[in-house]
Structure 1
């Protein structure tokens, strides 16, 4: 995790936490129509029970997970299982609206000065924590300061020079340098608010109690089995774009832990689980063929790619990197690693992300599959062989690359499919599938030439910064496993983050993505997708999945879903 002296750094440990969660059951699946509408299979959404109908009030909605929470302290949580539960208990200042813009939620008004160094937020009055405390300016300041001090994602707010209560319901946040993306960062659920008195009164906050302003309140924690939250009857301040302003429909949400994939599948199709985003790829067909359960799919912005070491011979040569890109045929990788449940990408930022390059532009600038072009580039750099498939040599040295992959099946399978593709153009890629600790120790030491990776975000800036910013190199504890150092890219990214002018920011992030394609420090392969399996008796699914980023908007299904 990030310590207080290096909050701005994208830490390796935080990435490990993230990818570890992804690897322990987050389901990835198919695709949607071009409009972004999720595909629904196996159910009649016009039926009396099912995605299109209105939920009834009452009952217990059971959510199945293959991974369990370790804390419910919002400002110390790191993993998705925790955030899934916390999305019912807590709320951030802003939400992402259907137009994919930050929209004030707990603030009735807000303003930013011309150079984006000062923000003033006017809070909605009458919003209360579950213990009856009011959300006022002092509570907001206290929560944000606690977030900066404790959260693994403290870098989102740590650039702030000060948080100040400038009125009973007014908060002023000041920065020394322009920080125009603050509203976007304040949509992150971990920047939300906890009750100060609850923290100060609890002996073990986050283990015995958690108190927020969300639509559901802490009820119980059966260790290793389930966490239950109950409806907050006073809740009526959901965003305008949500059909149900509150309170939520179910009387309770019960988050059950089912570590075995087969058990979770059976509980969804023929047991007590009503919904789960943890169904594994190999089980999606079982859900679709069930008479009692259905599946929704969604193209997602998380990319799978190769990080290419730009500091180690021979991959320090841009033409060798481009040859690697040309040698990889994306679709067979998708079939093998994702069971066909994904889609190819030509830029490290998928087109569906905000400010992502268009597919046509990415294809125009990027390296599409072409073994002949790969061979031509390698020949141009002096790497030759006498027959196709024979390992190339240069000055008596073989073109052999160290290739690492994570033990999580889809990343290992990516490596297993890609290595022989590289062999077909004369690159001997020696694949080693490593457990997490060994893998990251080797990556931090720069021992690799290439490695399978996955890291992304819904905005181009956030997707590229962790994996390619110069100061985030793995040898310095970051997640730039390409070890890419490019001053032009760093300056473009800085401009995309700090310019008060939106057009300037958009131009900068476009140029930054084009530079990535030109220099080829990564090989974009495919974007992972998300799925949600649910019992046919679940209602309100259509309301949740209308949002283009519905997999990320889990908080909405606490208000929209029911039985």
Structure 2
């Protein structure tokens, strides 16, 4: 049997890649130590914004993907840099590299007690193929079939190097009968195979989950959970200190040192796959002007943004995808800060002092935006910052109804996954730049159609060169997440998204 363990060997940051639906392992110990937390089995977590929807095949928004890792699962999971069994207990790949056969774990139950079968997997992958959000990842799939009740074969039209990462470890597996019988209602009342059952959602306020007693992975320590929307990061810190919540992902960097000195709190520093960059609709003035885009590219002082907006917590980036990504070489990088170069390109542009609207989705983005606004004012570039509700902000960028923004994009560490941001198929979904170029589309296709790592790197170098030469975006930093939580709460593992699945939590 031909086996592929991973194409990711040697990437030190990749400890837990999956940010799609996710795999889970039970805690070895449900309770350790004594004290008032010994019998506690619930957790309340603060999120900076509400999820956009509950659709298992909408792969656009990180927070959506993170939340559903707790109740949906995938065929495979990641352990470090290796694929490991989850709903599939084994898999094989044909010599041609175009047929993947997955042998399912028997006895896995959905939250309504139905048993998982091959038909559920076939249905789920087919639904992902119909989703615009998964169009790039599933484009090479020619056929999905149930060989028997516990065997699924996926046939590809051509070699697809990141297939296991982008489909097998990412597509949520759902209950076919339940989904077909209930339609849209099933989307909003999800039933998966994960360690937690979805209980309820109050839009804009909270999501409630509870442990699934028949989970195939065994008993979990956290029995009840609430994901609470706390948009104000300062309010989240106060709620944490008051004991109203147990963990916050919305910690402002300015509060990190304060909470690190509090013996009742733990602050984790989690390097992530998140790449923060300026994005603009290149079809809208003034960003339809290459000289203006280059002026912006040279005018970004990354060191000042990291020091002032992030309180030093972040790593400067001059590349969209980082050193831990398959396809990264460092041969082509975006310009360093050079105010004189910025002035030269601005003088050659058609910009005439009109006000540019800079939309942001939360306080962290706004702090960076203010620094940029002040820097650009020195050049005579006028910027108005508009902070929006997170879902409206994302919607405007998807639809192209904006000029300028700052986003953080977190993907699995394979450069092919960036096709959702820069290929034509991503327009209206994740291609916020609204760039549409045949050469980019073709290069992404070629990059995923070979398993030769040198060939792949060559294609991704060409892509990076286009992004740099055309100033399609401006990378600024790689995000370090700083989740803060009650010192009695033990979190054994954070994903490289910066979030932690509840199955890896327990109280002392």
Which TM class, normalised by the smaller chain length?
0.7 to 0.9
Instruction: Identify the residue that residue 339 of structure 2 maps to in structure 1.
Output: 371
Asked if 1:494 corresponds to 2:445, the answer is yes
Instruction: Identify the residue that residue 316 of structure 2 maps to in structure 1.
Output: 344
Instruction: Identify the residue that residue 523 of structure 1 maps to in structure 2.
Output: 474
8 Å CA contact 1:61–1:274 kept in 2: the answer is no
Instruction: Identify the residue that residue 433 of structure 1 maps to in structure 2.
Output: 385
Cα distance 1:295–1:227, how it changes in 2: closer, same or farther (>3 A)?
same
How far apart in 2 are the matches of 1:518 and 1:504?
21
Asked if 1:405 corresponds to 2:384, the answer is no
Cα distance 1:62–1:154, how it changes in 2: closer, same or farther (>3 A)?
farther
Residues 461-499 of structure 1: CA distance to partner in whole angstroms, max 9, x if unpaired?
Answer: 2553233335545xxx35545454544433222211222
Note the 1:45-64 alignment, pairs <5 A. Answer: 55-56=31-32, 59-64=40-45
How far apart in 1 are the matches of 2:484 and 2:413?
26
Residues 140-176 of structure 1: CA distance to partner in whole angstroms, max 9, x if unpaired?
Answer: 1123334445685465436533221012211112233
Asked if 1:468 corresponds to 2:422, the answer is yes
How far apart in 1 are the matches of 2:31 and 2:318?
41
Deviation at 1:328, TM superposition (A): 2.1
Instruction: Identify the residue that residue 162 of structure 1 maps to in structure 2.
Output: 143
Instruction: Identify the residue that residue 223 of structure 2 maps to in structure 1.
Output: 251
Cα distance 1:465–1:75, how it changes in 2: closer, same or farther (>3 A)?
closer
How far apart in 2 are the matches of 1:486 and 1:536?
50
Instruction: Identify the residue that residue 307 of structure 1 maps to in structure 2.
Output: 279
Structure ID, larger Rg: 1
Asked if 1:92 corresponds to 2:39, the answer is no
Q: Name the SS for the 2:101 alignment partner.
A: strand
How far apart in 1 are the matches of 2:396 and 2:132?
24
Cα distance 1:251–1:59, how it changes in 2: closer, same or farther (>3 A)?
farther
Cα distance 1:337–1:123, how it changes in 2: closer, same or farther (>3 A)?
same
Deviation at 1:92, TM superposition (A): 0.5
Deviation at 1:416, TM superposition (A): 3.2
Cα distance 1:349–1:374, how it changes in 2: closer, same or farther (>3 A)?
same
Cα distance 1:519–1:152, how it changes in 2: closer, same or farther (>3 A)?
closer
Note the 1:443-462 alignment, pairs <5 A. Answer: 448=403, 451-462=405-416
Correspondent of 2:216 among 231, 235, 257: 235
Instruction: Identify the residue that residue 498 of structure 2 maps to in structure 1.
Output: 551
Deviation at 1:329, TM superposition (A): 1.3
How far apart in 1 are the matches of 2:220 and 2:429?
40
Q: Name the SS for the 2:143 alignment partner.
A: strand
How far apart in 2 are the matches of 1:259 and 1:252?
22
- Give the alignment's TM-score, normalised by structure 1: 0.71
Q: Name the SS for the 1:367 alignment partner.
A: coil
Residues 430-488 of structure 1: CA distance to partner in whole angstroms, max 9, x if unpaired?
Answer: 2133466699769967984x554443423352553233335545xxx355454545444
Asked if 1:288 corresponds to 2:260, the answer is yes
Aligned residues: 475
8 Å CA contact 2:291–2:348 kept in 1: the answer is no
How far apart in 1 are the matches of 2:375 and 2:219?
54
Cα distance 1:353–1:276, how it changes in 2: closer, same or farther (>3 A)?
farther
8 Å CA contact 2:397–2:432 kept in 1: the answer is no
Deviation at 1:272, TM superposition (A): 4.5
8 Å CA contact 1:415–1:431 kept in 2: the answer is no
How far apart in 1 are the matches of 2:305 and 2:370?
9
Correspondent of 2:368 among 414, 418, 435: 414
Cα distance 1:332–1:145, how it changes in 2: closer, same or farther (>3 A)?
same
Cα distance 1:352–1:393, how it changes in 2: closer, same or farther (>3 A)?
closer
8 Å CA contact 1:456–1:462 kept in 2: the answer is no
Q: Name the SS for the 2:489 alignment partner.
A: coil
Cα distance 1:61–1:440, how it changes in 2: closer, same or farther (>3 A)?
closer
8 Å CA contact 1:300–1:530 kept in 2: the answer is yes
Instruction: Identify the residue that residue 215 of structure 1 maps to in structure 2.
Output: 195
8 Å CA contact 2:410–2:497 kept in 1: the answer is no
How far apart in 1 are the matches of 2:95 and 2:364?
46
Correspondent of 1:195 among 175, 178, 183: 175
Residues 275-318 of structure 1: CA distance to partner in whole angstroms, max 9, x if unpaired?
Answer: 23233445444433333111102222322323366567886665
How far apart in 2 are the matches of 1:444 and 1:196?
31
Asked if 1:137 corresponds to 2:86, the answer is no
Asked if 1:510 corresponds to 2:461, the answer is yes
Instruction: Identify the residue that residue 24 of structure 2 maps to in structure 1.
Output: none
How far apart in 2 are the matches of 1:55 and 1:503?
48
Asked if 1:109 corresponds to 2:98, the answer is no
- Give the alignment's TM-score, normalised by structure 2: 0.77
Instruction: Identify the residue that residue 331 of structure 1 maps to in structure 2.
Output: 303
Bigger drift between 399-408 and 218-227 goes to 218-227
Deviation at 1:273, TM superposition (A): 2.7
How far apart in 2 are the matches of 1:484 and 1:76?
21
How far apart in 1 are the matches of 2:140 and 2:504?
33
Q: Name the SS for the 1:495 alignment partner.
A: helix
How far apart in 2 are the matches of 1:228 and 1:406?
33
Instruction: Identify the residue that residue 180 of structure 1 maps to in structure 2.
Output: 161
How far apart in 1 are the matches of 2:489 and 2:267?
12
Deviation at 1:134, TM superposition (A): 2.3
How far apart in 1 are the matches of 2:309 and 2:280?
20
In structure 1, runs of 5+ residues without a counterpart are 1-33, 39-50, 237-245, 384-391
